[in-house]
Chain A
Amino acid sequence: MKVLRITPQRCTGCMRCEIACSYEQSGVFQPAKSVIRISPFEAHTSYAPYTCTQCDEAWCMVACPVNAITISPVGAKIILNDLCVGCKLCTIACPYGTMFYDPDTAKATKCNLCGGAPACATACPTQAIEYVEAESADWLGSFAAERAETQLAQQA
């Protein structure tokens, strides 16, 4: 299984992944439409990309009342736009905050792994985002456990 592995320590907050993602998803450069998002930590000194981990539980799929979320051949949970009614239940169900709603299309939107060639990983200049073989997509647990040791400084 290939997953998006994120190494936050490498992220410099350049936001190139958001530009690439929005282009891949919409054909224009519009980070507001990106389904990978960069969050700052420790004042302005650290950044981390975050997107759908394609988790096994798939609360979004469970919550969807019209079965508009399915699994693509590369293992991504994807929205079937023809079926999505824009009710936003999936955005509430997702515990990670990686389901989005696009007011322009009135549909849910999320990471679809770009059909197996994620644009964010290609665009990232520091390999903070990689698309690699892994046993589990869950990189979050170990990152959180190590976080105290890796922060740039104790003070903000």
Chain B
Amino acid sequence: MQEELPGGYAGKILRVDLSQNRTWTEAWTAEMCRTCIGGVGLGIKILWDEVPAEVSWDHEDNRLVLATGPLAGLPAWGTGGLTVVTRGALTNGATNTQANGFFGANLKYSGYDAIVLQGRAPEWVYLYIHDDTVELRDASALLGKDTWETQETLEQMLDLTGHQLSVYTSGLAGENQVRFAAIHGDYGHVASKNGCGAVMGNKRLKAVAIVRGSKALRAADPRGLWMAAQEIAEDLQYDPSTRSLYEYGTLPGVSGLSRLGALPIKNYTTNVVPEGVDMSQWTAQGLREGFDHRGHQCNSCGMHHCHAQVLPSGPHQGAIVDEPEYEGWSGAGWAFGCTDPVATSWLNTQVDRACVDVNEFGWLMGWVVECQEKGYVTKEQLGGLTITWGDAEAANALLQMIIRREGFGDVLAEGVKRASETVGGPAAECAIYAMTGNTPRGHDHRARWEEMLDTCTGSGGTLDSGPPVLPTEMGQPARINPFDPDAVARMVGGTRGRRQFEDSLGTCIFTTRTLLSILCRTLSAATGWDFTKDEALLFGRRTAALMRAFNIRCGITPDLERPSKRYGSVPVDGPAQGQDIGAHWEHLLDVWYDMVGYDRQTGKPLPATLEDLGLSHILADLWDAREATHAGT
């Protein structure tokens, strides 16, 4: 008798071998659903099993996993989730990065929980999915097109509009294997980290086009699911800690973080808002109401988060753009000194259309401007271009050079770490990055130590755990002194696992900012499991440890777990002036390693940790018998 799958799942994993032009499906087992859940939990299992050390990010045997999860397509808010897992181009290690929109819902309505791509197509193709029709089709008509143009062209070719078609592509940046190329879909949703778009380009896969399928998803307890979904919605709307997120998405970040010294300004050279900048424009209300705007939500979502907006002034007046996230206001703005919301909003969409990570782009632009100002990079090197602080038009000119790898754009296309190392000298000391290649998100982490520690020790291309959500649920204090190294390391270590659980559900991390117990109830209603908070955290920590093990196997060692010189420098002004994380770095690592149960010398999860997490089967891959006996003692 065929085993019955848990509710919520479409039931099949779609496999695609681009080299062989072959597609097939694999069924899940009920046990695999429970141990992997979906998203990053599924993706890292596939990487661990199928991508050995010698298969680098640009090897055709690398896997590109586009996964959703059991809640995608169901009526909880924000259930269109895409998690991209691959061996990425910036770290040459694991990637865990998310986009939303409608990918997850549309894929599951066609009958699949994930797509696993391998091989490299002989010619450029796009993957067409509509229910049982799965085809690799000629993409020559899409080459050279940006992300929006690719989607528009496919809509015309396939005669589909709106959310009847989801298109996820890596744009021109992916075609040219820019090391920080992203994967973008549904006009404004970006899985951006660790050059996942470069992997897609390396496979000569221009796009994935998913027609909203006609298949049914079932919930084990549909009434329970509706009730849990309603409970999440009410919590997000009415809890004081999430209400601003509900109303404005991440827009409040700019003004809020500027008051903490955590808004990155001009490549970390200052934390003081320049004179003459009208910060009333940069409040959440200012940013939302400063533009004609309209909601542009993800699947089944009631958050007033993603919006489309129209530029009210400037050289691109009237253009329709995607309202930037906080990360966009930062990376396409403040990080390189652009304090004009209209110019930033325009540039942010150019970054999305070009298809690169907006964080890495911001650090790169900030570095270029500072280097040109100080004479480390000349106008001639930039092909005659002069870029000064805040010049969005010049930044876009550089962006276009980067995604075409033209002139100095070819150096910049390698990301800020490699570009600064290539230029060398004093220029190398101005660049913001983590030594592993992980991209810091768009804050000044010198005032947010938790995220710097998390970014430098992260295994997925950026931070692993993120700002804690309800840390008391995990036995941690509600608040800590952000400059107390002991408390910081305990918080980062003690909250590890929640994010990996969220990233496996097929939902957005903003709509999972509710009690873990409610999330577990939602998952249980969908699947029929009796899923508990303890199981969720065990799952998350197991997933995080497997990512770490994968990276160890890839040669990413603990000596790389530190910030670049500028990233770890001391703020010279502003609210965090004089706070020196570097003085505490070794202690931060000592405490963090102790909390998470990894070996401080080798970085490996300790044998006892592997056993506790249900990963005994990988012990022999990581440790030889003699080492294992002594590890952790």
Per-residue interface assignment for chain B, residues 283 to 314, with 1 indicating a CB less than 8 Å from any chain A CB and 0 otherwise: 00000000011111111111000001010000
Q: Within 8 Å CB of B75, what residues of A?
A: 16, 19-20, 23, 29, 123
Residue B140 interfacial (CB < 8 Å):
no
- Most B CB within 10 A of own CB, among A46, A153, A154: A153
Does B334 lie at the interface of the complex (its beta carbon under 8 Å from any beta carbon of A)?
A: no
Contact A13 B296 (CB under 8 A): yes
Which B residues have a C-beta under 8 Å from some C-beta of A? 73-75, 77, 102, 105, 109, 152, 161-163, 186-187, 212-219, 222, 233, 292-302, 308, 310, 318-320
Question: How far apart are B233's CB and chain A's nearest CB, in angstroms?
Answer: 7
Q: Which residues from 4 to 42 on chain A have a C-beta closer than 8 Å to any C-beta of chain B?
A: 11-16, 19-20, 22-23, 26-33, 38-40
A142 within 8 A of B: no
**A152→B233 contact, CB < 8 A:** no
In the complex, the answer to whether A30 meets B294 with C-beta atoms within 8 Å is no
Q: A120 to chain B: closest CB distance in Å? A: 11
Q: Using CB atoms, name the residue of chain B closest to A32.
A: B214
Number of A-B contacts (CB under 8 A): 102
A105 at the interface (CB under 8 A from B): no
What residues on A are CB-neighbors of B320 within 8 Å?
A: 43, 45, 152-153, 155-156
Knowing A12-B294, A38-B162, A39-B162 touch, does A27 contact B77 (C-beta < 8 A)? Answer: no
Interface residues of A in 90-124 (CB under 8 A from B): 123
Cα A11 to Cα B297 in complex, Å, equals 9
Pairs across A and B, CB under 8 Å, 11 listed = A12-B297, A13-B162, A13-B296, A15-B102, A15-B300, A29-B75, A29-B216, A44-B187, A45-B308, A46-B294, A153-B320
A67 on the B face (CB < 8 A): no
In the complex, what residues of A have CB within 8 A of residue B219's CB? Answer: 29
A126 at the interface (CB under 8 A from B): yes
How far apart are A45's CB and chain B's nearest CB, in angstroms? 5
Tell me whether B300 and A152 are in contact (CB under 8 A): no
Flag if A16 contacts B302 (CB, 8 Å). yes
- The interface residues of chain B lying within 8 Å CB-to-CB of A155 are 318-320
Residues of A within 8 A of B187 (CB): 44
Find chain A residues with CB under 8 A from B102 CB: 15
Q: A12-B294, A153-B318 are in contact. Are A31 and B109 (CB under 8 A)?
A: yes
In the assembled complex, which residues on chain B have CB atoms less than 8 Å from the CB atom of A16?
Answer: 75, 299-302
Inter-chain contact B217/A45, CB cutoff 8 Å: no
A152-B222 contact in complex given A16-B75, A46-B294, C-beta closer than 8 Å: no
Does A65 count as interface, using CB distance less than 8 angstroms? no
Cβ contact within 8 Å between A14 and B162: no
Contacts of B298 in A (CB 8 A): 14
CB distance from A156 to the nearest CB of B (A): 8
Residues of chain B contacted by A22 (CB below 8 angstroms): 216
Give the residue of B77, B301, B308 whose beta carbon is less than 8 angstroms from that of A152: B308
Residues of A within 8 A of B318 (CB): 153-155
Q: Which residues of B contact A23 (CB under 8 A)?
A: 75, 222
Do A13 and B213 contact each other (CB < 8 Å), given the known contacts A152-B320, A154-B318? no
The 7 A-B residue pairs whose C-beta atoms are closest, nearest first, are A125-B302, A12-B295, A40-B162, A32-B214, A30-B216, A28-B216, A12-B297
A29 touches B217 (CB 8 A): yes
Q: CB-CB < 8 A to A13: which residues of B?
A: 162-163, 295-297
Q: Name the residue of chain B whose CB is nearest to the CB of A150.
A: B294
Q: A28's closest neighbor in chain B, by CB?
A: B216
Beyond the given pairs A14-B298, A15-B102, A19-B300, 12 more chain A to chain B contacts, judged by CB atoms under 8 angstroms and listed by A's residue number, are A12-B295, A12-B301, A13-B297, A16-B75, A19-B75, A22-B216, A29-B73, A31-B109, A44-B187, A123-B75, A154-B318, A155-B320
Contacts of A26 in B (CB 8 A): 216
In the bound complex, residues from chain B placing their C-beta under 8 Å from that of A27 are 222
**B301 x A153 contact (CB < 8 A):** no
| CB <8 Å contact, A28 and B297 | no
Question: Most A CB atoms within 10 A — which of B102, B294, B310?
Answer: B294
CB distance from A123 to the nearest CB of B (A): 7
- Contact between B74 and A19, CB atoms less than 8 A apart: yes
Give A21 Cβ to nearest chain B Cβ, in Å.
Answer: 11
Cβ contact of B217, chosen from A14, A28, A38, A44, cutoff 8 A: A28
Nearest chain B residue, comparing its CB with the CB of A10: B295
A27 to B292, CA, bound (A): 39
Across the interface, do A126 and B294 meet the contact criterion of CB distance under 8 Å? no
The distance from the CB of B510 to the nearest CB of chain A, in whole angstroms, is 14
Q: How far is the CA of A125 from the CA of B298 in the complex (A)?
A: 12
**Complex alpha-carbon distance, A33 and B216, angstroms:** 9
User: Are B162 and A44 in contact, with the CB atoms below 8 A?
Assistant: yes
Given contacts A29-B217, A30-B217, A153-B320, contact A40 B300 (CB under 8 A): no
Q: Check B214–A15 contact: CB distance below 8 A.
A: no
Please indicate the chain A residues that have their CB under 8 angstroms from the CB of B186 in the complex. Answer: 44
The reply to whether A47 and B162 form a contact with Cβ atoms under 8 Å apart is yes
**Cα of A12 to Cα of B319 in the assembled complex, Å:** 19
Inter-chain CA distance A153–B317, complex, in Å, is 11
The chain A residue sitting closest to B295, CB to CB, is: A12
Beta-carbon nearest neighbor of A42 in chain B: B320
Say whether B216 contacts A38, CB under 8 Å.
no
Closest-by-CB residue of A relative to B215 is: A30
Alpha-carbon separation in the docked complex, A40 to B308 (Å): 13
Q: Give every chain A residue within 8 A of B293 (Cβ-Cβ).
A: 152
List, in ascending order, chain A residues with CB within 8 A of B77's CB: 125
**Cα(A24)–Cα(B497), bound, Å:** 36
Q: Give Cα distance in the complex from A20 to B109, angstroms.
A: 14
Q: How far is B511's CA from A16's CA once the two chains are assembled, in angstroms?
A: 15
Cβ B294 vs Cβ A29 within 8 A? no
Distance A31 CA – B294 CA, assembled complex (angstroms)? 24
Inter-chain CA distance A156–B73, complex, in Å, is 29
- A15, A46, A123 — most chain B CB neighbours (10 Å): A15
- A46: chain B residues at CB < 8 Å are 294
Complex formed: what's the CA distance from A47 to B342 in Å? 25
User: Shortest beta-carbon distance, B297 to chain A, in Å?
Assistant: 4
Q: Which residue of A lies closest to B152 (CB)?
A: A43
Chain A residues near B162 (CB-CB < 8 A): 13, 38-40, 44, 47
Q: Which residues of B contact A31 (CB under 8 A)?
A: 109, 212
**Max count, chain A CB within 10 A of own CB: residue among B105, B162, B187:** B162
Residues of B within 8 A of A14 (CB): 297-302
Task: Judge whether A45 and B294 touch: CB under 8 Å.
Answer: yes
Q: Please determine whether B161 and A12 come into contact, CB atoms closer than 8 angstroms.
A: no
Are B218 and A152 interface neighbours, CB within 8 A? no
Q: Nearest chain B CB to A73's CB is how many angstroms away?
A: 25
